[in-house]
């Protein structure tokens, strides 16, 4: 039936083509008609071939499932230009460990020994314990570990077994850690988490929280450069690793035992290098563990820009923090690159004998370009 309709259409086409020809010279009309007839015959042949091919395709379609056709580019004589693949973003590696699954691995705090701020004599050995409860759905096996994740290690191992038995969901475990107080005076803090057999680092429901030990070593002179990694360093967006690395876009801090000062003098005492996040008006804040301030104490330091960074333009300030987290400014200094260093000093006698949280704050004045400073001998002393 389909073929019959097609042939009728072809015949109609021949008539139409003939009828549509304009009038011409009688001497050439026969030749033109012959051209039209030949063209029509070729058209019939081509359409007949297409009908047969289409009919065969319809018959074979029952037996073969062909993929849907895809659009193809029109063929030209222009050489093909290779297209570079679009680079795909690579996920940033932050911890190098599998992601925490809080439904499986989750701890709850129960109790601890050695209260925060406990005083120790320099170099004394002591033991800290924490009791944690398994609040996840997975059993903590004998292959789970306790791992040191930040601060001043105080001779803590990088890792140690969590327990010599499995801890089922709902059960508690006592973690015992032998430690040694540093030999220099100041406030020190070591932070820990747990690690599963799959390498997942975890602790509490807030994945940023840790369990820790925080002590103070007795002494009349407290050098904050000795315990700077005990402080929480932040850029206002995230907590920074300590020590950091020069040039990190989020900001950084690290110590230097032989710093070259802005004045061009190389010193043989430890300085902290502070770099700001790559954003206008950014800041870097260090919150030290609460410490008992010696009587008649003062804060002293030597402030300067990185030598050669002529764009350096910052503001440095010292604060105390109250129990609600509020900051109280104790002193503020502007610093620009002028080839000179500043000797800064703040009276802390009103805090003598009191447990106080000290906060350092560095701010960019507009652009952070060149805003790298040294803080030499940041000390609390009589």
pLDDT in tens, 304-321: 999 999 999 999 999 999
Question: What one-character DSSP code corresponds to residue 332?
Answer: E
Look at the block and give the residue holding tokens 């314990």: 129
Number of H helices and number of E strands within the chain? 2, 21
Cβ pair 378, 302 in contact under 8 A: no
Question: What one-character DSSP code corresponds to residue 76?
Answer: -
Q: In 37-139, where do the E strands start and end? A: 107-112, 118-120, 125-134
Q: Name the nearest CA neighbour of 134 among 164, 106, 162.
A: 106
How far apart CA 152 and CA 155 sit, in angstroms, is: 8
Q: Name the nearest CA neighbour of 351 among 331, 330, 332.
A: 330
What H or E segment, with its residue span, contains residue 12? helix 2-19
According to the model, what pLDDT value does residue 102 have?
A: 76
Q: What is the 3-state secondary structure (H, E, C) of 212-243?
A: EEEEEECCCCEEHHHCHHHCEEECCCCECCCC
Question: CB 276: neighbour CB atoms within 10 A?
Answer: 24
How far apart CA 244 and CA 253 sit, in angstroms, is: 5
> What kind of architecture, by CATH, is found in domain 97-219?
Sandwich (2.60)
According to the model, what pLDDT value does residue 98 have?
A: 66
Q: What are the helix (H) ranges across 125-183? A: none
Cβ pair 275, 372 in contact under 8 A: yes
What phi and psi, each to the nearest 5 degrees, are found at residue 180? -135, 130
What SS3 state is found at 304? strand
Residue ranges of the chain whose pLDDT lies below 50: 1-96
According to the model, what pLDDT value does residue 289 have?
A: 96
According to the model, what pLDDT value does residue 134 have?
A: 98
What phi and psi, each to the nearest 5 degrees, are found at residue 284? -130, 125
Q: Would you say the C-alpha torsion 58, 60, 63, 69 has a positive or negative sign?
A: negative
Q: Measuring CA to CA, how many Å separate 103 from each of 34, 173, 289?
A: 86, 19, 32
Instruction: Tell me the CATH number of domain 220-382, given options 3.30.70.260, 2.60.120.200, 2.60.40.1120, 3.40.50.980.
Output: 2.60.120.200
How far apart CA 329 and CA 361 sit, in angstroms, is: 10
Q: Which two tokens stand for residue 270?
A: 């430890």
CATH 2.60.120.200 domain locations along the chain: 220-382
pLDDT tens figures, 259-291: 999 999 999 999 999 999 999 999 999 999 999
Distance of CA 60 to the CA centre of its chain: 57
Q: Which two tokens stand for residue 315?
A: 């503001």
CATH 2.60.40.10 domain locations along the chain: 97-219
Cβ pair 100, 207 in contact under 8 A: yes
What H or E segment, with its residue span, contains residue 57? helix 26-60
């Amino acid at each position: 039936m389909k073929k019959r309709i097609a042939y009728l259409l072809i015949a109609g086409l021949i008539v139409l083509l003939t009828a549509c020809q304009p009038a011409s010279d009688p001497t050439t009309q026969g030749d033109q008609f012959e051209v039209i007839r030949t063209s029509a015959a070729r058209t019939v042949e081509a359409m007949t071939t297409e009908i047969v091919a289409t009919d065969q395709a319809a018959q074979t379609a029952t037996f073969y499932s062909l993929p849907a056709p895809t659009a193809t580019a029109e063929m030209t004589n222009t050489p093909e230009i290779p297209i570079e693949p679009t680079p795909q973003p690579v996920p940033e590696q932050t911890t190098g460990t599998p992601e925490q699954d809080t439904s499986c691995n989750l701890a709850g705090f129960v109790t601890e020994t050695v209260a925060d701020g406990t005083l120790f004599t320099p170099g004394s050995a002591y033991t800290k314990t924490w009791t944690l409860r398994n609040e996840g759905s997975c059993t903590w096996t004998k292959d789970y570990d306790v791992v040191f994740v930040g601060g001043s290690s105080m001779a803590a191992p990088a890792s140690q077994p969590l327990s010599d038995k499995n801890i089922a969901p709902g059960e508690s475990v006592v973690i015992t850690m032998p430690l040694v107080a540093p030999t220099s005076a100041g406030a020190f803090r070591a932070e820990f988490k747990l690690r599963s057999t799959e390498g997942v680092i975890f602790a509490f429901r807030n994945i940023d929280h840790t369990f820790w030990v925080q002590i103070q070593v007795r002494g009349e002179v407290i050098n904050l450069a000795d315990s700077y990694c005990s402080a929480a360093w932040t850029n206002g967006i995230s907590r920074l690793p300590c020590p950091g690395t020069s040039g990190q876009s989020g900001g950084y801090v690290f110590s230097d035992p032989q710093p070259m000062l802005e004045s061009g003098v190389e010193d043989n005492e430890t300085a902290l290098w502070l770099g700001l996040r790559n954003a206008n008006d950014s800041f870097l804040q260090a919150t030290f563990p609460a410490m008992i301030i010696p009587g008649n104490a003062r804060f002293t330091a030597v402030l300067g820009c990185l030598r050669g960074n002529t764009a350096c333009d910052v503001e440095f300030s010292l604060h105390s923090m109250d129990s609600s987290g509020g900051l109280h400014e104790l002193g503020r200094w502007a610093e620009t690159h002028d080839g000179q260093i500043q000797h800064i000093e703040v009276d802390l006698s009103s805090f003598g004998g009191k447990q106080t949280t000290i906060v350092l704050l560095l701010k960019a004045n507009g652009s952070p370009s060149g805003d790298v400073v040294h803080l030499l001998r940041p000390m609390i002393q009589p």
